[in-house]
Amino acid sequence: MSITASSSLFWLLLLLAFSITITWYFYRKNDWLSSQKPGVKWGIPLLRGTGIFLLLTLLLEITLLVNHTEVEEPILITILDNSSSILQYKDSNQTKRTMNELIQDVKDRFDGTYQLAFYTAGESFKENGMLTLKEQESNHAEAFTYISEQYLNRNIGAILFASDGNYNVGSNPTYPAEKINLTPIFTLGIGDTTPKKDQIITNLYYNDVVFLRDEFPIEVDLEAFKIKQKQVKVSLTQQGKLLGSQVVNYTNPAYTFKQVRFDVTASKVGFQPFTVSVEYLSGEFSKVNNSKTCYIEVVDSRNNVCFISNGVHPDLAALRAVASSNENYQSSFLSPKELFEKGLKPDLVVWHNPTLQFDANVSAYIEQHRIPVFYIISPSATNQDLTKLNIFATTNGRNQSDEVQGNLNPGFSAFELSDECKQTIPYYPPLVTKFGAMNPLGNTEALLNQRVGNTVKKEPLIYFGKTKKNVPYGVIYGEGVWRWKLNEFMKYQHYDHFTELFSKSFNYLMVKRAGMGLSVQFEKRFGKYDRIGVNANFYNASLEPITKPVINLTLTGPQGKKYSNRFNVTGNHYSLDLGTLPSGTYKWTANTLHEKKKYSKSGIFVVEDIGLEQATNTANHGVLKQLSKNSGGAFSALKDYEKLLNQIEGRADITTIERLTIDFWNLVDSWVYMLLIILIFASEWFLKRYFGAY
């Protein structure tokens, strides 16, 4: 223990003398004290002097430094690969017994001298997990990431990792393992690295969503091991119907890689299963990996973006090119009158210069059918014309224009732009806007504010809001965005950031907002071993979430089997855990009754059997050897695990460490010290009162 102070400790002598002087001065002519017994006569002044001295000592800001030594035993972490690929190899039952024997031997040898931690790695990283060898994914990177974070600055003596080395989720485990400094990793290889005679469909490449009657590709990666020159047929089927087949030739008897492409026409709406298979050859290691199924969602509609104007302008061409570049959009150009007369109801209207030959019928039609609008305001519009839109107010009565640039609003939260896009926007050329102040009506959020030189104005340049009927709208307060596109192309030879800016603006305006009634949030794709969860909300007429209605969910499985479930109330919403389901396409219907009115939502989702663990037939001991080499550990076959345990036991660098910690005890912050001072002065007062001084 040591003592530090803000001033020299020699000041304690002066404080002691000062305390004695003050005490003497107070009691020097006290007749009552002079008549008391010696114990009282000297004890009461002593209490006074001690209390004053302790109180004055706080001025020196004295801190006591107390040293503590902590002894930490080395930690031995054992990680066991719990994925189902372990069972693909010969003598898999013996492998599981050996892994259990390894756990017991580690406990027998090192319990008491090491801190022991046991984990299983597969779909997830679990402490003291049960060794089942049934998990359908191998995420080894997660294991080493967890250890590097949770055991930071701990005395990790060694890591023992038993696996076949195959990982199919996450990155290569050697990368996160590098963050675990000064820790040897001892790896135990499971399985056979010798390729077997086999054909494997390793990957399918396809679009998750396609449109009805569109042609789309399905590309296949096919690997063949130890198959002599042979011709095999690769087929594509849909629910048993043959859609096409191709013949591939294997030329290398050791290993051949082939890519096959099928062009398919989407002929039916919904999740459609497409199965690729290669004919089975006698003597193959596995038949399971000879086929793979993908599920592609076929939809029959695109978002319809309608551009309307009573004139032509390059801004319309630039923005329409953004919509045309997105395969999910279908764009058209009409006059406002044509939109009204044809009774069209697009998902979004982009209205350029709406005040030019303004038609109140068109505006009323758009409002009646709750169509989102993106307005492009011309600087030539008069205040009288602009008031008809009822979205902002202006204070300038003169027909003048101004040039302003855009300044990103850091608080904008409706959607997120990429960093590259954010860096490009401030350098776009200025837009031509109407001169004067502009004040948006209602609740709005600015994406860009107006900027003149280095001065940022409070008026927005591009902003978004909602009408009284809760319909979203957007405003570009000026013309000339076509120059933004041209400027970006001149600088970067692309206009990706321009496209991103307005594509995300269109998406935001077309998102269907929740109204009164039932809302169900259901993902469309799940893995065979995923737990399937679904959430729901019910909104009353004030658009407030309520949980009074009972919501039921009916599932119809691939074979027509139905499952009935009821949502649970969680806070102000509903949730339901469906667990895991067999692979296939499922239809769901959620329904409820509220105030004698029925509400219903329906949809489909797919459960995919990806089969990651069956995509290989050999062990990958190269990864394990690299882990050991990089960390200074060693590699061995699982059956020879005792060799590695002997090495761990004999390592001189795996040892107990001592850590010195220092506790700071400041007198000013010590309640014990303050309590002592209070007790001293309280004792003085009590004794004086007890012996009749008061």
Model pLDDT, residue 687: 82
Helix (H) or strand (E) segment spanning residue 521: strand 517-521
Among 367-371, 415-419, 585-589, which stretch is predicted with the lowest mean pLDDT?
415-419
Model pLDDT, residue 658: 78
State what percent of residues in the chain have pLDDT above 70: 97
Backbone phi, psi, residue 395, to 5°: -115, 5
DSSP string for residues in 380-440: T--HHHHGGG-SEEE---S--EEEEEEEE-TT--SS---HHHHHHGGGSPPEEEESS-EEE
Model pLDDT, residue 380: 83
Report the relative pairing of strands 329-334 and 303-308 from DSSP bridges.
parallel
- Is the pLDDT confidence value at 42 over 80? yes
Model pLDDT, residue 419: 87
Q: Which residues, including other chains, have CB under 8 Å from residue 61's CB and lie 6 or more apart?
A: 5, 6, 7, 666, 667, 668
Task: Provide mean pLDDT across the span 535-543.
Answer: 81
Query: Whole-angstrom Cα distance, residue 315 to residue 321?
Result: 10
Query: Whole-angstrom Cα distance, residue 380 to residue 245?
Result: 63
Query: Whole-angstrom Cα distance, residue 162 to residue 121?
Result: 10
Task: Provide mean pLDDT across the span 633-661.
Answer: 88
Report the relative pairing of strands 532-539 and 573-579 from DSSP bridges.
antiparallel
Q: Domain residue spans in the chain? A: 2-68+663-690, 74-194+618-655, 198-299, 303-509, 517-608
Going across the sheet that includes 241-250, the strands are 209-211, 291-299, 270-278, 230-238, 241-250
* 3 state SS of 571: coil
Q: Mean pLDDT across the chain, nearest whole number?
A: 87
> Locate tokens 């459609």: which residue?
272
Residue that wins the pLDDT comparison between 694 and 590? 590
Model pLDDT, residue 360: 85
Neighbours of 173 (CB within 10 A): 27
- Is the pLDDT confidence value at 514 over 60? no
pTM, to two decimals: 0.53
Model pLDDT, residue 571: 85
Q: Per residue in 313-353, pLDDT tens?
A: 999 999 999 998 887 788 899 998 899 889 888 989 999 98
Among 63-77, 267-281, 581-595, which stretch is predicted with the lowest mean pLDDT?
63-77
Q: Per residue in 120-129, pLDDT tens?
A: 998 889 999 8
Task: Provide mean pLDDT across the span 251-275.
Answer: 89
Q: What is the dihedral of CA 159, 164, 170, 173, to 10 degrees?
A: 40
Model pLDDT, residue 643: 93
The CATH number of domain 517-608, selected from 2.60.40.1930, 3.40.980.10, 2.130.10.10, 3.10.450.750? 2.60.40.1930
Question: Are the beta carbons of 246 and 239 closer than 8 angstroms?
Answer: no
Model pLDDT, residue 300: 73
Task: Provide mean pLDDT across the span 270-297.
Answer: 88
- Is the pLDDT confidence value at 439 over 60? yes
Give the pLDDT band (50/70/90) at residue 170: confident
Model pLDDT, residue 387: 78
State what percent of residues in the chain have pLDDT above 90: 36
Measured between alpha carbons, how far is residue 531 from residues 83, 128, 581 in Å?
18, 22, 8
Give the pLDDT band (50/70/90) at residue 399: confident
- Is the pLDDT confidence value at 497 over 90? yes
Residue that wins the pLDDT comparison between 390 and 251? 251
- Is the pLDDT confidence value at 20 over 90? no
Give the pLDDT band (50/70/90) at residue 392: confident
The CATH number of domain 303-509, selected from 3.90.830, 3.40.50, 3.30.160, 2.60.40? 3.40.50
Is the fold of 198-299 the same as that of 303-509?
no
Give the pLDDT band (50/70/90) at residue 299: confident
Class for the domain spanning 74-194+618-655? alpha beta
| Fold assignment, 198-299 | Immunoglobulin-like (2.60.40)
Model pLDDT, residue 694: 61
Report the relative pairing of strands 156-163 and 75-81 from DSSP bridges.
parallel
- Is the pLDDT confidence value at 565 over 60? yes
Task: Provide mean pLDDT across the span 74-81.
Answer: 94
- Is the pLDDT confidence value at 77 over 90? yes
- Is the pLDDT confidence value at 395 over 70? no
Task: Provide mean pLDDT across the span 237-260.
Answer: 90
- Is the pLDDT confidence value at 662 over 60? yes
